[in-house]
Amino acid sequence: MKITPELTDLIIDEVQGDVPTLSSCSLVSHDFHPRARLHSFRKITIGHPSRSNSSQKFLRLLVASPHIRWLVRTVVVDAEYGFDEDGSWEDINQRINTPMEDRAWEAVGFTAGALRWRSSERIPSQVTSFESVLSRKPITTLALNYVHFDSLPSFITILGSFTQLKSLRLGVIIHAPRPGDSVVILNQGPFGLQEVEMNMEGYASIVELFASAIGADGRELVSLSKASLEYLHVDNSELPEEFLMRCPPLTVHHIKTLSVGPSSTAVMRWWLDVLVDSKGSASQIAEIIFNLGRVNDADHSTIIRQALARSHLRIHATGRLIHLRSY
């Protein structure tokens, strides 16, 4: 039987760790075993040459079989491993560009760890940078952790350049301080800070990026992502009390799935008050996931019941994970 590559990929995604089942599938179609050997290259890793899905191994295969270039859907960069100290940026830049510059490669996912991401004005005009190459790709899934940006406005501008973004996950973000940043007041004193590190998964700034009164740069990001962003993950959501009091409703009606780890019942109530409103901006949200690691059971039950009474969502509970769904 002839099965399309897309269907073959879906089946292998489900059974790739189950050798007997995969062998049984090969009785239906001979495409399964050769396709399974290449399946790990759906995601290639730059910075770990020993891994089975390393970019070096894939590029060697590509020389012999150019037709397999369509396999790659996600590029993972881990700059903490596999790069020399001297000339490290040039090395990283070349390794990312080698697969990504090819127009036939339509990777839709990009994951970066321990990487420096420069703003366009810091890149020499004669250099083809991975930053400019990525902005031309139809990236829909972006995950950044321990990524260093030149400044907070630069970080926001770069995020806004991914106009087809559907899933955004931010870990620790590092940037140089600027006067007026609420998180870097110490810079006004004698400390001479050179950079600021923020855990965006647990910091109010990621929420403020989507607030309606955060300044022109932030509103530009929201405007650019409004039509496409579908998934937002905010783990360990530790929002200060004054933020909960002053922050206006978020413009997140375009987001379909929100995953939040609230640090308290007050934070949980804030998310629900803003998001769960059948007449307001949350009307398109299909799912909200709460990780209740630090929230009291009795308190969260009352808050959720009050929210559900005025929403289109229904509760599906699994241990300390609470799923609110419209389906």
Burial class (CB in 10 A: 0-12, 13-18, 19+), 22: middle
d(CA 48, CA 4): 31
d(CA 255, CA 289): 13
Residue 145 domain-assigned (yes or no) = no
Average pLDDT on 90-99 reads 80
Kindly report, residue by residue over 57-77, the tens digit of the pLDDT.
888 888 877 777 777 888 888
Burial class (CB in 10 A: 0-12, 13-18, 19+), 209: buried
Band (305; pLDDT cuts 50, 70, 90): confident
Beta bridge partners of 199: 172
3-state secondary structure of 115: strand
Band (199; pLDDT cuts 50, 70, 90): low
Q: What is the DSSP string of 127-153?
A: S--HHHHHHTS---EEEEEEEEES-HH
3-state secondary structure of 214: coil
* Residue 174 in this model has a pLDDT that exceeds 70: yes
- What is the pTM (predicted TM-score) of this model? 0.62
Both structure tokens of 69: 């270039």
Give the count of beta carbons closer than 10 Å to the beta carbon of residue 235: 17
Kindly report, residue by residue over 139-162, the tens digit of the pLDDT.
888 888 888 888 777 777 787 778
Both structure tokens of 75: 């590029």
d(CA 12, CA 23): 11
Mean residue pLDDT across the chain: 70
Residue 136 domain-assigned (yes or no) = no
Both structure tokens of 251: 């413009």
Q: Are 174 and 194 in contact (CB under 8 A)?
A: no
Residue 56: which H helix or E strand, with range? helix 55-64
Both structure tokens of 10: 């879906």
Q: Which domain holds residue 8?
A: 1-40
Helix count and strand count (H, E) for the chain = 12, 12
d(CA 128, CA 259): 36
Kindly report, residue by residue over 265-303, the tens digit of the pLDDT.
887 887 777 665 545 444 567 888 888 876 776 677 788
| Overall domain count for the chain | 1
Residue 104 domain-assigned (yes or no) = no
Beta bridge partners of 314: 325
d(CA 181, CA 179): 6
Give the count of beta carbons closer than 10 Å to the beta carbon of residue 232: 22
State how beta strands 257-262 and 231-237 pair.
parallel
Residue 187: predicted pLDDT: 31
Beta bridge partners of 290: 260, 322
Kindly report, residue by residue over 99-129, the tens digit of the pLDDT.
777 766 778 899 888 888 888 888 888 888 8
Task: For residue 248, give the DSSP letter.
Answer: P
Residue 54 domain-assigned (yes or no) = no
Q: Are 264 and 240 in contact (CB under 8 A)?
A: no
Residue 8 domain-assigned (yes or no) = yes
Residue 23 domain-assigned (yes or no) = yes
Residue 228: predicted pLDDT: 62
CA distances from 284 to 3, 50, 257, 312 (A): 35, 44, 9, 10
Residue 57: which H helix or E strand, with range? helix 55-64
Q: Which amino acid is at 199?
A: N
Percent of residues, the chain, with pLDDT higher than 70? 62
Band (7; pLDDT cuts 50, 70, 90): confident
Band (190; pLDDT cuts 50, 70, 90): very low
Give the count of beta carbons closer than 10 Å to the beta carbon of residue 165: 22
Residue 1 domain-assigned (yes or no) = yes
Average pLDDT on 175-203 reads 46
What residues contact residue 268 under an 8 Å CB cut-off, 6+ apart? 260, 262, 290, 292, 295, 300, 303
Residue 30 domain-assigned (yes or no) = yes
